[in-house]
Amino acid sequence: MSSPRTRYSTVAIVLHWLIAAAIIFQVILAWRMDGRTPSGFALIQLHKSVGISILLLSLLRLAWRLANRPPPMPAGMATWERWLAKVAHVGLYVIMIGMPITGWIMVSTSRIQVPTLLYGVVPWPHVPGLAHLTGAAKSAWNDVGHLGHEALAWGAYVLIALHVAGALKHQLFSREEPVLAHMAPGAKPGRWLDPRLIAIFVVALGVMAAAQTIRPPVPASKPLPPPPAAIETAEVAAPVVPAATAADPAAATPAAEAASSEPSAWTVSQGSTLGFATSWGGSAIEGRFDRWTADIVFSPEALDKSKVSVSIDLASAVSGDSQRDESLKGADWFDVASHAKATFTATKFEKTGADRYVAHGRLTLRGVSKPLRLPFRLQIEGDKARVSGVTSLDRTAFGVGQGEWTSTDQIPADVKVSVNLTAKRR
Ligand code: HEM
Ligand code: HEM
């Protein structure tokens, strides 16, 4: 086997070039990131995945380095050069390990809790102990992550430039110091047109071009999973099937109710959906709440005594992307930690045409209560009713979307809410 005196071990060489390529890719990618647009969000997810991969590879490399001696530096190197090379190498290890850790701290303490799914597949936890902090402690750690990441990024620019300049100096201007050959075995010092040098240059350009052009799939493009069987089974304690309100005489004697002009109580059937629709950066997003309950007491003949009240578990929002759904629960959006449920209660109903009605109610969402009109179509056949209705609301009026999301250039203020349900008379 080749002597460890003239080059690094094969494992160290493979890891060096893999990590170098990944870091170059990572930096170029970072310059394109902007979490407010769907494509920028997808780039951040890729940045996180590549960054964590760099962390794992770098820890492996450090362990390998500590267990395996590197080749000695060439005899002709000046003392200051040896020191500079050593300091730069230690600094590069600090970058390789420190950058991912500060990035990881940043995303673990972010206001918007976006989970990390490496390459969209492998779940990666937040930094233990940090994600559950609140208030000032959380934002202090976020500052540590943010400032550290930025400072190390500047350190990386300087050190990588110095490191590459050093490697090139020895390769191009010295015939006796085979430094590049330590990492690229066979490279001949003093040669400008060395195939290894050209290969490194071409691959580096390719990696930069890839980082500049890659377009990871945006979350909004994924279709929703099939509508819930979950709706009825997800909440054992509070099933979607509405409890009949109090001692409703109509419920006890269904046949008699129409004549008595008392409204009927209804049980919502499986497959009923409560959806929402919006868009992000121009691409449509269809969402749905998978857990909600409805108390419905309603008859066209007794509109004045009818009452509908819906309670929506906001943490059950799905929108076709699990990372986005997780952030919807966070403080900037539904803030489920403080306001787990939204409620809609309507006690005034108006008939506007054949089978057409308008419910005048109040929506309470995120601690804000506002009037909301819900026009709907109702068809009753015997003991079965079919209801479909669409309304729209201004998300900003309820504080849904804080901070940079109060701006409506990427996500409009207007959100469509739709209900499609079938119900059985009790
Ligand atoms: C060696 C690995 C990494 C490198 C070289 C790197 C590099 C960078 C660079 C150059 C920036 C732009 C900094 C600026 O000028 O503001 C950046 C931003 C960012 N990085 Fe990394 N990063 C790495 C790992 C990670 C990891 C592992 C994560 C998360 C798990 C992460 C999350 C972020 C985030 C969220 C931003 C945007 C910060 C902002 O809001 O401005 N990074 N990264
Ligand atoms: C961009 C990210 C890069 C990082 C983070 C990096 C990191 C490192 C580290 C930490 C070492 C010391 C190895 C050890 O003792 O374990 C090293 C060695 C080396 N690197 Fe890099 N490197 C990068 C890019 C490059 C590039 C682009 C070149 C070539 C142009 C290069 C050429 C070398 C050479 C020749 C050595 C061996 C130096 C010696 O034996 O004294 N590196 N690199």
Domain 10-213 and domain 219-425, same fold? Reply is no
Distances (CA, A) of 403 to 103, 165, 225, 314, 333: 21, 43, 30, 20, 10
- Pocket probe for ligand 2: among 57, 62, 83, 92, the residue whose CB has the most ligand atoms within 8 Å is 92
Torsion of Cα atoms, 274 then 278 then 283 then 286, to 10°: 0
pLDDT at position 231 is 44
Domain boundaries, the chain: 10-213, 219-425
The 10 Å CB-count burial string (b at 16+, else e) for 74-98 is beebeeebeeebeebeebbeebbbb
pLDDT at position 134 is 81
Residue nearest to atom 29 of ligand 2 (CA): 164
Phi-psi label, residue 289: left if phi above 0, alpha if psi -120 to 50, beta otherwise: beta
- Pocket probe for ligand 1: among 31, 48, 99, the residue whose CB has the most ligand atoms within 8 Å is 99
84 alpha carbon, closest ligand: 2
User: What's the rounded Cα separation, in Å, for the pair 12 and 29?
Assistant: 25
Contact 269, 240 (CB under 8 A): no
CA of 30 to the centre of ligand 1 (A): 6
Torsion of Cα atoms, 92 then 93 then 95 then 96, to 10°: 120
Does 27 contact ligand 1 (Cβ within 6 A)? yes
Contact 107, 99 (CB under 8 A): no
Q: Which residues contact 210 (CB under 8 A, 6 or more apart)?
A: 25
Strands 122-124 and 368-381, bridge-based pairing: unpaired
- Pocket probe for ligand 1: among 45, 53, 56, 149, the residue whose CB has the most ligand atoms within 8 Å is 149
The fold adopted by the segment(s) 10-213 is Fumarate Reductase Cytochrome B subunit (1.20.950)
CA of 155 to the centre of ligand 1 (A): 13
Distances (CA, A) of 327 to 107, 351, 426: 12, 39, 39
Contact 321, 222 (CB under 8 A): yes
pLDDT at position 320 is 84
For residue 383, give the 3-state DSSP assignment. Answer: coil
Q: Which of ligand 2's atoms lies nearest the C-alpha of 89?
A: 10
CA of 47 to the centre of ligand 1 (A): 7
The class (CATH top level) of 219-425 is mainly beta
Q: Which of ligand 1's atoms lies nearest the C-alpha of 52?
A: 27
Two structure tokens written together for 222? 């994924």
The 10 Å CB-count burial string (b at 16+, else e) for 145-172 is bbebbeebbebbeebbebbeebbeebbe
Does 97 contact ligand 1 (Cβ within 6 A)? no
Contact 412, 390 (CB under 8 A): no
Q: Which residues contact 61 (CB under 8 A, 6 or more apart)?
A: 12, 15, 16, 19, 96
Does 52 contact ligand 1 (Cβ within 6 A)? yes
> To 10 degrees, what angle do helices 10-32 and 195-213 make?
30
What are the residue ranges of helices labelled H in 253-379?
A: 257-260, 322-328
pLDDT at position 232 is 40
Contact 383, 424 (CB under 8 A): yes
Does 101 contact ligand 1 (Cβ within 6 A)? no
Query: Would you say how long the chain is, in residues?
Result: 426
Each residue's pLDDT, cut to its tens digit, for the chain (426 residues) gives 444 468 999 999 999 999 999 999 999 999 999 888 888 989 999 999 999 999 999 999 999 999 999 999 988 888 999 999 999 999 999 999 999 999 999 999 987 778 899 998 899 999 999 988 888 999 999 999 999 999 999 999 999 999 999 999 999 998 888 899 999 999 999 988 999 999 999 999 999 999 999 999 876 556 676 666 444 433 333 333 344 443 444 444 444 444 458 899 999 998 899 999 999 888 888 999 999 999 999 999 999 999 999 999 999 999 988 778 888 998 889 999 899 999 999 999 999 999 999 999 999 999 999 999 999 999 999 999 999 999 999 999 999 999 889 999 889 999 999 999 999 998
Give the residue among 296, 280, 306, 302 at the shortest CA–CA distance from 386.
296
Does 92 contact ligand 1 (Cβ within 6 A)? no
User: What's the rounded Cα separation, in Å, for the pair 103 and 51?
Assistant: 8
Contact 309, 297 (CB under 8 A): no
CA of 16 to the centre of ligand 2 (A): 6
Contact 358, 373 (CB under 8 A): yes
Q: Which residues contact 99 (CB under 8 A, 6 or more apart)?
A: 51, 54, 149, 152, 153, 156
Give the residue among 262, 287, 292 at the shortest CA–CA distance from 275.
287
